């Protein structure tokens, strides 16, 4: 959708990140379960989970150093993919920051 990124989950690419099929993002960890739950509640509101703009799911992630984790991510709902296909812009390298930088140059 125009104006903000939307992640669509696919099968894990054969080649390691970065590259096609991968998304660049921020990984934030919490030692305290209560802090994590509070942060997720805030993010759910920001990401429009109640309005079904995005869904929070767990997916595998690979950090720059190669460490693998499972993390909460916000994905675009499958039942609305046709809207995304009509109005969205695919970012083959998966980096929203690079896209914005190039767009405003």
* pLDDT reported for residue 2: 55
* Distance from C-alpha of 22 to C-alpha of 53, rounded to nearest angstrom: 21
Q: Which residues pair with 70 in a beta bridge?
A: 60
- pLDDT reading at 1 higher than 50: no
- pLDDT reading at 47 higher than 90: yes
Give pTM, 2 decimals. Answer: 0.82
* pLDDT reported for residue 87: 84
- pLDDT reading at 105 higher than 80: no
103 contacts 12 by C-beta, under 8 angstroms = no
Nearest residue to 73 (alpha-carbon basis) of 88, 94, 91: 94
pLDDT > 70: what percent of the chain?
Answer: 97
- pLDDT reading at 98 higher than 90: no
Q: Would you state the structure tokens that stand for residue 80, as one six-digit string?
A: 């609305």
9 contacts 21 by C-beta, under 8 angstroms = no
* pLDDT reported for residue 82: 87
- pLDDT reading at 50 higher than 80: yes
Kindly report the CA angle at 1 between 8 and 53, in degrees rounded to 5?
Answer: 70
């Amino acid at each position: 959708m125009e104006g903000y990124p939307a992640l669509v989950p696919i099968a894990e690419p054969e080649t390691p990140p970065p590259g096609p099929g991968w998304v660049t993002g921020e990984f934030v960890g919490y030692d305290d379960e209560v802090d994590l739950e509070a942060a997720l509640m805030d993010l759910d509101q920001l990401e429009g989970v109640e309005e079904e703009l995005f869904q929070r799911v767990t997916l595998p992630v690979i950090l720059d150093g190669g460490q693998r984790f499972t993390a909460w991510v916000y994905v675009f709902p499958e039942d609305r993919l046709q809207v995304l296909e009509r109005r969205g812009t695919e970012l083959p390298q998966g980096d929203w920051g690079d896209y914005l930088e190039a767009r405003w140059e």
